[in-house]
Amino acid sequence: MAKGQVMTSVSGYPRIGYDREWKKALEQYWAGKLTLSELEAEMERIELLRLAKLKEEGIDFIPVNDFSWYDHVLDMTAMFGLIPERFGYEGGPITADLMFALARGTETAVACEMTKWFNTNYHYIVPEWEGKPPVLTENRPLASYRRAKEKLGIEGKPVLVGPYTYVRFIKGIPQGERRQVLDQFADVYGRILHELEAEGVSCVQLDEPAFVKPMTADDWQAAQAVYERLRLAAPGLTIWVQTYFDSVSGLDSFLQLPVDVYGLDFVHGEERNEAALRQTGIPSGKRVAFGIIDGRNIWRADLLAAATWLESIEPIVPRSHWIVQPSCSLLHVPLTAEREEALPGYVRGALAFADEKVAETVRLAAHLSEPTAESAALLEASAADVLAWREEPARKRPHVVEAVERLIRDAEADGGRRAPYEQRRAAQRRRWPELPLLPTTTIGSLPQTAEIRKARLRFRKGEWSAGAYESFLRQEIERWVRIQEEIGIDVLVHGEFERTDMVEYFGEKLDGFVFTKFGWVQSYGSRCVKPPILYGDVAFREAMTVAETAYAQSLTKRPVKGMLTGPVTILNWSFVRDDVPREQCAYQLAYALRQEIQELEQAGIGMIQVDEPAVKEGMPLKAEDAARYREWAVLAFLLATNGAVPETQIHTHMCYCDFSDMVETIRRMDADVISLETARSGGDMVDTLRKERYELGIGLGVYDIHSPRVPSVGEIERFIETALTVLPAESFWINPDCGLKTRNEPETVAALKHMVEATVSVRQAR
């Protein structure tokens, strides 16, 4: 029996192609190996292929204009002609080269900033405001719509970043002027929508994820005003406002926007969205796009549970007004799990990447529209599969679960800390009496030359024996121990030459992870990452870093710092199982690292760094969730490190973020020494530390490692002197901003020499 047609939609789809041909085309063009027209042809081929795929799968609302040659936010910026002065743009059409220039910089103009898109690992190019009003250089959504229609007969749904969100992310709008700028943009958006309507487009999707961020009454008023203008500009067009990544901050205001479809995330922040929806109800005649298939994770959905939940909403939104879809753009997951034949069957069967999610969406809607015995059986099978996966013995490691429970109980009893800092500090001073004031060190990785990468590859491919590879690594470690000694660095590192990636390295050595062959996700521009998959209980197998670290230590009298990646960072840079709370996974990782620390201690390593660069980026979008996250992130770090004896000096390192609201969290992590990046972290760390005392050991990055420029002795000296106006010299460390693996050897040696020279001169002046 038909119950009313339930429509399907996808709000965005990966652009990189099954073989990352998108990335390859871009890089070939940049390298001068493709002409512009060849690039254009290849881009169109990829764009149409994905549209054809969505059509073939039976998606009703197929997104167009979500495809991009680089970044969809940059596309909007180009469309509005918002080109910063330094790029010398004088009006007219925006060329591909100009767009690439904004993203990548030129000889004469620095690139626009790049920032993470909400709490994802996707980076967008930040629009800059220089006071020039926006124009419409080209109606890109219209052009995308036409391409899909002419080439494939698809009635696409143009997708744009919505006006409120776009303007909220423009950098440099003077205080108090944002509302006025928003007005200017409302005009241009109005024109775009008007032209779409005139073309016969029936539906346009405006992405407004900024609505899940904190919204004041004024913010909602501004949003309301914009949407009223859009409504007037295109009265007959179906306007669809899409939110994702969390619940809307103020659903009642959201539902007052004069639009036709309200897109909500019912995977992330679902409880809040659901409660608000039940309370507010939906204006009559309006449709809701239910983001019910997780667009952020890679696991198959329980479609029976999804259907049951939707049916419980029926009194509030009639079925004929339902649209079902993944919770956000599928940009954030890999394309297909079908090709992952090398994975164990039980993992592979549990995976749903973009294509599988599209199929799930269609399957769910088909059943909701017109249930048949067959559709019901499919839903039941999906529920059974999810259950079986949950119970899968290969995921279970009861000894880990028990040990972690015990650890947490103990931590609750004593706060999870080691001996008080003062005691540790005294013990550590006795252990390294020769360590000077303002000790110098580095963050861990040393230049990864082509030779090192080649060696690793040869070993992986089996061309080199373990013995040959190991002796190569040893040579490299020894060479660099000598270099560090010669430069005069006080605390050495082994250099991380054996690691391609700081998360992958540990994932491969722990139980509970698998790695895909083709599971790429766009990170920024043409750069893609292949996150490890944490699928089960995590267990320590055997020592992971002891051989290299102990070897380095055997070569020198100076302390060598062991180098581990922290639990929260491993978690945040992986795809994580969703059958247990995230914090449980973090605690299990912590437990494994705790065992590694013990191994290092037994091998005589006295300083151990546990890197946590990704703590801040895992921060939930809502304050109430963020507070809980901080709690468990701190606890995970403590569980990893609090087994160390007082004489062991625990270091940590953080980077890529604004630390101004992190000092308390950092303090609670209780590391003996933290090194922080300062050059690119936004906000001024020295300023922050002026306001907030910090008592534990701390090193602020004294020079920026992201640039090949070698800093002068003078500028490093000045930076150290400034830092010492807010931090006591007794607890201050000298280090670069971050790991050195992307730098070459000559510039690294030169910069580190300057760092040491500057330190010596500051020491002498004291």
- Give the residue numbers marked as catalytic: 706
Select 576 or 738, whichever has its Cβ closest to Zn ion: 738
Select 294 or 611, whichever has its Cβ closest to ligand GLN: 611
- Residue 23 makes contact with ligand GLN by CB under 6 A: no
Using the rule CB under 6 A, give the single segment among 272-280, 330-338, 406-414, 734-742 that binds ligand GLN: 734-742
Closest distance of CB 654 from ligand GLN, Å: 7
CA atoms within 13 A on the CB side of 207: 25
- Residue 676 makes contact with Zn ion by CB under 5 A: no
Select 305 or 543, whichever has its Cβ closest to ligand GLN: 543
For residues 145 and 196, the answer to whether their CB atoms sit within 8 Å is yes
Edge-to-edge strand list for the sheet holding 649-654:
561-565, 607-611, 649-654, 673-676, 697-701, 732-735
Closest distance of CB 681 from ligand GLN, Å: 12
Select 565 or 649, whichever has its Cβ closest to Zn ion: 565
Which listed residue (125, 239, 313, 443) binds ligand GLN by CB under 6 A?
Answer: 443
Select 249 or 445, whichever has its Cβ closest to ligand GLN: 445
Nearest to 538 by CA among 642, 415, 636, 614: 636
Which listed residue (738, 751, 755, 756) binds ligand GLN by CB under 6 A?
Answer: 738
- Residue 643 makes contact with ligand GLN by CB under 6 A: no
Residue 91: CB atoms within 10 Å: 9
Binding mask 217-256 for ligand GLN (x = CB under 6 A): ----------------------------------------
Closest distance of CB 496 from ligand GLN, Å: 6
Select 191 or 680, whichever has its Cβ closest to Zn ion: 680
Give the DSSP per-residue string, 574-596.
Answer: SEE-SSS-HHHHHHHHHHHHHHH
Nearest to 492 by CA among 501, 505, 483: 483
Q: Based on the number of CB atoms within 10 Å of its own CB, is 71 exposed (0-12), middle (13-18) or buried (19 or more)?
A: buried
Using the rule CB under 6 A, give the single segment among 326-334, 427-435, 437-445, 575-583 that binds ligand GLN: 437-445
Measured CA to CA, the distance from residue 561 to residue 648 in angstroms comes to: 10
- Residue 736 makes contact with ligand GLN by CB under 6 A: no
Q: Based on the number of CB atoms within 10 Å of its own CB, is 172 exposed (0-12), middle (13-18) or buried (19 or more)?
A: exposed
Residue nearest to ligand GLN (CB): 739
Identify residues 610-639 at the interface with ligand GLN (CB under 6 A): 611, 613
Using the rule CB under 6 A, give the single segment among 16-24, 105-113, 439-447, 750-758 that binds ligand GLN: 439-447
The token pair at 380 is 């039941």
For residues 325 and 8, the answer to whether their CB atoms sit within 8 Å is yes
Which listed residue (395, 424, 651, 653) binds ligand GLN by CB under 6 A?
Answer: 653
Looking up tokens 């895909």 gives 516
Binding mask 562-581 for ligand GLN (x = CB under 6 A): -x------------------
- Residue 298 makes contact with Zn ion by CB under 5 A: no
Identify residues 737-766 at the interface with Zn ion (CB under 5 A): 738
Which listed residue (655, 674, 700, 720) binds ligand GLN by CB under 6 A?
Answer: 655
Using the rule CB under 6 A, give the single segment among 238-246, 622-630, 724-732, 736-744 that binds ligand GLN: 736-744
Using the rule CB under 6 A, give the single segment among 138-146, 438-446, 481-489, 535-543 that binds ligand GLN: 438-446
Looking up tokens 């005392």 gives 693
For residues 358 and 331, the answer to whether their CB atoms sit within 8 Å is no
Select 47 or 498, whichever has its Cβ closest to ligand GLN: 498
Binding mask 586-615 for Zn ion (x = CB under 5 A): ---------------------------x--
- Residue 532 makes contact with ligand GLN by CB under 6 A: no
Closest distance of CB 379 from Zn ion, Å: 46
The token pair at 368 is 């909701």
Q: Print burial letters for 605-620: b (CB count within 10 Å at least 16), e (below 16).
A: bbbbbbbbbbbbbbbb
Cα–Cα–Cα angle for 607, 611, 613, rounded to 5 degrees: 155
Identify residues 484-523 at the interface with ligand GLN (CB under 6 A): 496, 502
Q: What is the CA radius of gyration of the chain?
A: 27
Distances in Å between the Cα of 314 and the Cα atoms of 105, 297, 520 are 52, 27, 38
Measured CA to CA, the distance from residue 375 to residue 356 in angstroms comes to: 16
- Residue 655 makes contact with Zn ion by CB under 5 A: yes
- Residue 563 makes contact with Zn ion by CB under 5 A: no
Give the three-class secondary structure for 418. coil
Select 45 or 706, whichever has its Cβ closest to Zn ion: 706
Using the rule CB under 6 A, give the single segment among 48-56, 398-406, 442-450, 481-489 that binds ligand GLN: 442-450
Select 337 or 674, whichever has its Cβ closest to Zn ion: 674
CA atoms within 13 A on the CB side of 402: 3
Q: Output the 3-class SS for 660-723.
A: CCCHHHHHHHCCCEEEECCCCCCCCHHHHHHHCCCCCEEEEECCCCCCCCCCCHHHHHHHHHHH
Instruction: Using CB under 6 A, list all residues that contact ligand GLN.
Output: 443-445, 496, 502, 563, 611, 613, 653, 655, 738-739, 741
Query: Which positions touch Zn ion (CB under 5 A)?
Result: 613, 655, 738
